């Protein structure tokens, strides 16, 4: 038996999230498991590094599978991709790894990116891949507010009500807000995240960018440990899992 590490890209719009769910719901995990079965004849579990929500994308999701079939990395990649069609999912790389490799529990850092397109004109090419905000945003103020989120904190304010994590305490290693023309990019890195945490960050930082909150109000919301103090949660469109480190 060989354990394979897969690096995966997908457009999250057609899916009810990463995690396999009930009958009639299409998920990224389910599509991958069906493709692996079609290629190998083996029913396997695809273990992902992050359970992205419905509509959330990935450019660098990582997963692992165990296969009895004797094959090569290039065959795993190409055969699974052939059977994934027409789903917007692609295995970018396949690599044989040791039996102790764990895509989820072995990850030391996950990096997410949230993209806002700050213009009045509607989105065309990036429709469904970014959040269009027509009101002018101050990215420098958003960056100042974001710095209050770095470090180890109780993130109850920025945690979805349905979050199943045992603790709301997490350590955010890095968060930056940058502007390039009409695009505002929020990059966040941490070992692990709470349910909808990055989208909650993005929605609250938008209020700072609009001038409705001062940057320090991010710190006040965080300290409150109260979900009602969070800004409106940003839509999934602009969020992507960019990279997972081990």
Q: What is the CA radius of gyration of the chain?
A: 19
Q: Is the pLDDT of residue 59 over 90?
A: yes
Report percent pLDDT > 70 for the chain: 100
Residue 103 lies in a domain: no
Residue after which a domain boundary falls, among 97, 117, 145: 97
Based on the domain organization, do 226 and 116 belong to the same domain? yes
Based on the domain organization, do 29 and 138 belong to the same domain? no
Residue 36 lies in a domain: yes
Q: Say which CATH number the domain at 146 has.
A: 3.30.70.660
Report percent pLDDT > 90 for the chain: 95
Based on the domain organization, do 135 and 92 belong to the same domain? no
Output the pTM of the full model: 0.95
190-219, pLDDT tens digit by residue?
A: 999 999 999 999 999 999 999 999 999 999
Q: What is the mean pLDDT of residues 219-227?
A: 95
Domain hosting 29: range is: 2-97
Active-site residue identified among 53, 226, 237, 245: 53
What is the model's pLDDT at position 22? Answer: 74
What is the model's pLDDT at position 54? Answer: 93
Phi, psi of 237 (to 5 degrees): -50, -45
What is the model's pLDDT at position 17? Answer: 94
What is the model's pLDDT at position 91? Answer: 98
Q: For this structure, is 53 an active site residue?
A: yes
Residue after which a domain boundary falls, among 41, 74, 97: 97
Q: Collapse the DSSP code of 1 into the 3-class scheme (helix H, G, I; strand E, B; otherwise coil) and give the result.
A: coil
Based on the domain organization, do 113 and 143 belong to the same domain? yes
84-142, pLDDT tens digit by residue?
A: 999 999 999 999 999 999 999 999 999 999 999 999 999 999 999 999 999 999 999 99
pLDDT category of residue 145 using cuts at 50, 70 and 90: very high
What is the model's pLDDT at position 77? Answer: 98
What is the model's pLDDT at position 24? Answer: 82
Q: Say which CATH number the domain at 47 has.
A: 3.30.70.580
Report CA-CA distances (Å) from 168 to 26, 28, 80, 109: 29, 26, 37, 17
21-31, pLDDT tens digit by residue?
A: 877 899 999 99
d(CA 47, CA 205): 32
Based on the domain organization, do 77 and 35 belong to the same domain? yes
d(CA 171, CA 193): 9
Residue 192 lies in a domain: yes
Total number of domains in the chain? 2
Q: Is the pLDDT of residue 230 over 80?
A: yes
Based on the domain organization, do 87 and 190 belong to the same domain? no
């Amino acid at each position: 038996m060989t354990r394979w590490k897969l690096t995966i890209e997908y457009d999250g719009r057609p899916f009810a999230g990463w995690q396999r769910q009930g009958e009639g719901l299409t998920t990224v995990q389910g599509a991958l498991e069906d493709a692996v079965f079609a290629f190998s004849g083996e029913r396997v579990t695809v273990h992902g590094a992050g359970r992205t929500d419905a509509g959330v994308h990935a450019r660098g999701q990582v997963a692992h599978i165990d296969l009895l079939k004797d094959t090569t990395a290039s065959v795993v990649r190409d055969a699974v991709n052939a059977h994934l069609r027409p789903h917007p999912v692609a295995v970018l790389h396949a690599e044989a790894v040791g039996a102790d490799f764990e895509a989820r529990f072995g990850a030391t850092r996950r990096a997410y990116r949230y993209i806002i397109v700050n213009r009045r004109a509607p989105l065309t090419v990036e429709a469904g891949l970014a959040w269009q905000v027509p009101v002018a945003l101050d990215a420098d103020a958003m960056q100042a507010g974001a710095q209050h989120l770095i470090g180890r904190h109780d993130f109850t304010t920025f945690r979805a009500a349905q979050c199943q994590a045992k603790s709301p305490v997490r350590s955010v290693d890095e968060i930056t807000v940058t502007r390039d023309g009409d695009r505002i990019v929020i990059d966040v890195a941490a070992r692990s995240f709470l349910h909808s945490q990055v989208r909650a960050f993005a929605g609250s930082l938008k209020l700072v960018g609009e001038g409705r909150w001062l940057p320090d109000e991010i710190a006040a919301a965080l300290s409150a440990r109260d979900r009602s103090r969070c800004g409106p949660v940003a839509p999934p469109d602009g969020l992507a899992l960019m990279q997972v480190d081990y």
